[in-house]
Structure 1
Amino acid sequence: MIGCKSMKQTTQFFFALAGVFALIGCRHGVDTPAAAQVSGGKMPTRWDKDVSATSPLPEYPRPQMLRGKWLSLNGPWDYALSAQDASAPPAAYAGKILVPYPYESALSGVGKTTPSGHRLWYRRSFVVPSDWREQRVLLHFGAVNWDSMVSVNGRNMMAHKGGFDPFEIDITGAIRPGQNEIVVSAWNPVIANKPNAQVIGKQRLNPGGIFYTAATGIWQTVWLEPVAVAAHITRLKITPDLDAKMIRLNVEAVGAGVRAKVTLMDGATPLLISVGDVGKDLPLTLSSPHVWTPDDPHLYSLKISLTQGGKAVDTVYSYAALRKISLGKDTQGRQRIFLNNKFVFEVGALDQGYWPDGIYTAPTDAALKSDIEAAKGFGFNLLRKHAKVEPDRWYYWADRLGVLVWQDMPQAFGDLDEPTKKQWMTEWEREIASLYSHPSIVVWTTFNEGWGQHDTEAVVAATRVLDPTRLINNASGWTDKKCGDILDTHAYPGPWSEKPEATRAAVNGEFGGVTMSVDGHRWNNDVMGYGSVLGSGWLVTKRYQDLLKTAYQLKEDRGTSAVVYTQLTDVEQEINGLMTYDRAIVKPDAKIVAAANKGEFLALPPDPNPPLVPTSQGEGQEYRYTTDQPAGDWAGLAFDVSSWKTGKGVLGHNINDARTEWTTADIWARREVTLPTAIPAKLVILAVHDEDAEIYVNGVLAASVKGYSGDYAKLPMSDAARAALKPGKNVLAVHCHNTTGGQGIDVGIEAVK
Structure 2
Amino acid sequence: MKNFKTYLFSLLFTSYFLQAQMPLPEHPRPDFYRENWKNLNGQWDFAFDSLDIGQKQKWFANPANIQKGIINVPFSWASVLSGQKDLADIGWYHKKIKVPKAWSQKRTFVVIGASDWETHVYLDGKLLGSHQGGYTPFSFDLTPYLQYDKEQSLVIRVDDKRRDFTLYGKQGYGNARGLWQTIYLESRGVDYVEAFEISPDIDKNLIQVKAIFPQATSKALTLKTHIQTKEGITFQKEVPAGSKEINFSIAIPKPRLWTLEDPYLYDYQVQLGDAEQMDQFSGYFGMRKITADFLPNSDIAYVFLNNKPIYLKLALDQSYHPEGFYTFPTDKFMYDEIVRSKKIGLNGIRTHIKAEIPRKLYWADKLGLLVMADLPNSWGEPGELMRKEAEFTLREMIKRDFNHPSIFSWIVFNETWGLTTKVEENGKKKSKYLPSTQKWVTEMYHLTKDLDMSRLVEDNSICCGFGHTETDIHSWHSYLPGYEWDEFLKKQSDSTFEGSTWNFEKGYKQGKQPMINSEFGNVWGYKNSTGDVDYTFDYHKAMNAFRNNIKVAGWLYTEHHDVINEWNGYYKFDRTEKETGLGALAKGMSLKDLHADFYISTGQEITFAGKAGEKLTIPLTLSALTDQSKLGQNLHLKVIFEGQTAWGERKTWWENNRLIDFKPWSVQKLQDLTLELPKDRSINTLHLILQDDNGAILHQNFVNVIVENGNIQPSDPKQKLIEASLENPTALKWSKKDWRAVDGHKLNGAGFGFYEYEFNWPSNLKEGDIAQVSFFVEASPKPLLGKDRVDSGKMEGDYMLGKGTSDPSKNPNSYPQTDSYKNPGIVQIFANAQLAGTVDLEDDPADHQGILSWHYQPRNHELNEAGTYGYWVQVNIPALSIQEAVNTGKMKIKLEVPEAFSTGLALYGTKSGRFMINPSLLIKTK
Same topology, TM > 0.5 = yes
Worse-matched range after superposition: 397-406 or 172-181: 172-181
Aligned amino acid, residue 476 of structure 2: T
1:199 is matched with: 167
Q: Does structure 2 retain, via aligned residues, the 8 Å contact 1:292–1:323?
A: yes
- Structure 2 CA distance for partners of 1:750 and 1:672, relative to 1, 3 Å: farther
1:132-147 map, 5 Å: 132-147=103-118
Judge conservation of contact 1:514–1:577 (CA < 8 Å) in 2.
Answer: no
Cα deviation for residue 135 of structure 1 reads 2.1
Letter in structure 1 aligned against 2:541? D
Alpha-carbon distance in structure 1 between the residues aligned to 2:610 and 2:340: 37
1:482 aligns with 2:469: yes
Deviation at 1:373, TM superposition (A): 0.9
User: Would the alpha carbon gap of residues 72 and 248 (structure 1) be closer, same or farther in structure 2, given more than 3 Å must change?
Assistant: same
Q: Cα 1:158–1:345, aligned 2, differ >3 Å: closer, same or farther?
A: same
Q: Find out whether 1:582 has 2:582 as its counterpart.
A: no
Pick aligned residue for 2:278 from 313, 338, 362: 313
CA distance in 1, matches of 2:194, 2:114: 18
In the other structure, the counterpart of 1:94 is 68
Instruction: Report the Cα distance in structure 1 between the residues aligned to 2:269 and 2:335, rounded to whole angstroms.
Output: 25
Residues in 2 aligned to 1:366 and 1:528: alpha-carbon distance in whole angstroms: 38
State the distance in 1 between where 2:868 and 2:593 align: 32
- Structure 2 counterpart of 1:270: 232
State the partner residue of 2:659: none
| 1:225-374 → structure 2 map (5 Å cutoff) | 225-229=186-190, 231-253=191-213, 254-266=217-229, 269-277=231-239, 279-308=245-274, 313-330=278-295, 331-374=297-340
Look up the equivalent residue of 1:319 and give its one-letter code: Y
Counterpart of 1:465 in structure 2 is 450
Structure 1 counterpart of 2:282, which letter? Y
Letter in structure 2 aligned against 1:439: P
Check conservation: 1:480, 1:488, Cα contact below 8 A.
Answer: no
Deviations 1:104-131 (A, max 9, x none): 1111111x23x4x531111111111221
Report the counterpart of residue 702 of structure 2 in structure 1.
none
CA contact (8 A) 2:207 2:249 kept: yes
In structure 1, the residue corresponding to 2:590 is in which secondary structure?
helix
The CA deviation at 1:73 is 0.6
Q: Does 1:73 align with 2:65?
A: no
2:207 aligned partner, one-letter code: I
Match among 565, 589, 601 for residue 573 of structure 1: 565
* Greater mean alpha carbon deviation, residues 248-257 or residues 369-378: 248-257
Aligned to 1:172: 143
In structure 2, what is the Cα distance between the partners aligned to 1:392 and 1:712?
36
Structure 2 CA distance for aligned equivalents of residues 281 and 101 of structure 1: 38
Amino acid at match of 2:461: S
| CA–CA distance in structure 2, aligned partners of residues 50 and 366 of structure 1 | 14
Report the secondary structure of 1:251's partner residue. Answer: strand
Residue 491 of structure 1, aligned match among 478, 488, 501: 478
Please say if 1:592 is aligned against 2:590: yes
Q: Give the Cα–Cα distance (whole angstroms) in 1 for the partners of residues 358 and 134 of structure 2.
A: 14
Could you tell me how far 1:713 is from its partner in structure 2? 11
Answering whether residue 402 of structure 2 is matched by residue 436 of structure 1, we say yes
Q: After TM superposition, give the deviation of residue 171 of structure 1 in Å.
A: 1.1
- Describe the superposition over 1:249-295 as per-residue Cα deviations: whole angstroms up to 9, x where unpaired: 222344421121111123x6514544454722221212211111111
| 1:551-609 superposed Cα distances (whole Å, 9 cap, x missing partner) | 2222x2xx1222111111111232111111111224436962122212455999xxxxx
Match of 2:93 among 122, 140, 157: 122
2:221 paired with 1:221: no
C-alpha change, 1:245 and 1:618, in structure 2 (3 Å) is same
Paired residues of 2:813 and 2:862 also in contact (CA < 8 A): no
- Inter-CA distance 743–378: structure 2 relative to 1 (3 Å threshold): closer
Gaps of 5+ in 1: 1-39, 205-211, 516-526, 605-615, 624-670, 699-704, 715-722, 724-730
AA matched with 1:197: F
Q: What is the aligned-residue RMSD (CA, Å)?
A: 4.3
Out of 152, 155, 165, which is 1:183 matched to? 155
Give CA-to-partner distance per residue, 1:600-654, whole Å, 9 cap, x none: 55999xxxxxxxxxxx99858789xxxxxxxxxxxxxxxxxxxxxxxxxxxxxxx
> Deviation string for 1:460-511 (max 9, x for gaps)?
1221211122111111122223311111111114664553543321110001
Cα separation, partners in 2 of 1:418 and 1:620, compared to 1, 3 Å: farther
Work out the number of aligned pairs and report it: 599
* Rounded Cα–Cα distance in structure 1 between residues aligned with 2:517 and 2:12: 32
User: Compared with structure 1, are the counterparts of its residues 132 and 742 closer, same or farther at alpha carbon in structure 2 (3 Å cutoff)?
Assistant: same
TM-score by length of 1: 0.71
Given that residues 301 and 320 in structure 1 are in contact (C-alpha distance below 8 angstroms), is that contact kept between their aligned partners in structure 2? yes
Shift of 1:50: 5.6
Partner residue, 2:424: none
Q: Is the 8 A contact 1:687 1:712 kept in 2?
A: no
Select which of 46, 49, 53 maps to 1:82: 49
1:506 aligns with 2:510: no
Instruction: Map Cα deviations across residues 380-427 of structure 1 (whole Å, 9 max, x no partner).
Output: 111101011122111111111111110000111232321222122111
Alpha-carbon separation, structure 2, partners of 1:53 and 1:747? 45
Is the contact between residue 492 and residue 530 of structure 1 (CA under 8 Å) also seen in structure 2?
Answer: no
Larger mean Cα displacement after TM superposition, 399-408 or 62-71: 62-71
**Cα offset, 1:530, TM superposition:** 5.2
Give the Cα separation in 1 of the matches to 2:864 and 2:311.
Answer: 37
Shift of 1:307: 2.9
CA contact (8 A) 1:84 1:118 kept: no
Question: 5 Å matches for 1:508-657?
Answer: 508-513=517-522, 531=530, 533-534=532-533, 540-554=535-549, 556=550, 559-588=551-580, 592-600=590-598, 619=607
Task: Give the whole-Å Cα distance in 2 for the aligned partners of 1:120 and 1:673.
Answer: 71
Distance 1:190 1:578, change over 3 A: farther
Say yes or no: does 1:709 pair with 2:671: no
- Structure 2 partner of 1:15: none
1:328–1:337 contact (8 Å) kept in structure 2: yes
Runs of at least 4 residues of structure 1 off by over 6 A? 40-43, 620-623, 671-676, 678-685, 705-708, 735-738, 741-749
SS in 2 for 1:370: helix
Q: Once the 2 structures are TM-superposed, how far is the Cα of residue 81 of structure 1 from its aligned partner?
A: 1.0
> CA 1:546–1:747 in 2, change beyond 3 Å: closer, same or farther?
closer
Taking the aligned partners of 1:390 and 1:528, their CA distance within structure 2 comes to: 32
Which residue of structure 1 lines up, in the alignment, with residue 368 of structure 2? Answer: 402
Q: Distance in 2 between matches of 1:747 and 1:421?
A: 45
Distance verdict in 2 for CA 1:599–1:126, change over 3 Å:
same
1:213 is matched by which residue type in structure 2? G
Q: Could you tell me how far 1:674 is from its partner in structure 2? A: 9.1
Q: For the structure 1 residues 749 and 238, does the alpha-carbon distance in structure 2 shift closer, same or farther, using more than 3 Å as the test?
A: closer
**Partners of 2:24 and 2:330 within 8 A in 1:** yes
Distance 2:599 2:266 in 1: 36
* Residues 1:378 and 2:350 aligned together: no
- Residue type matched to 1:220 in 2? Q
Q: Distance in 2 between matches of 1:528 and 1:129?
A: 62
**In structure 2, how many angstroms separate the alpha carbons of the residues matched to 1:561 and 1:573?**
29
8 A contact 1:444–1:470 mirrored in 2: yes
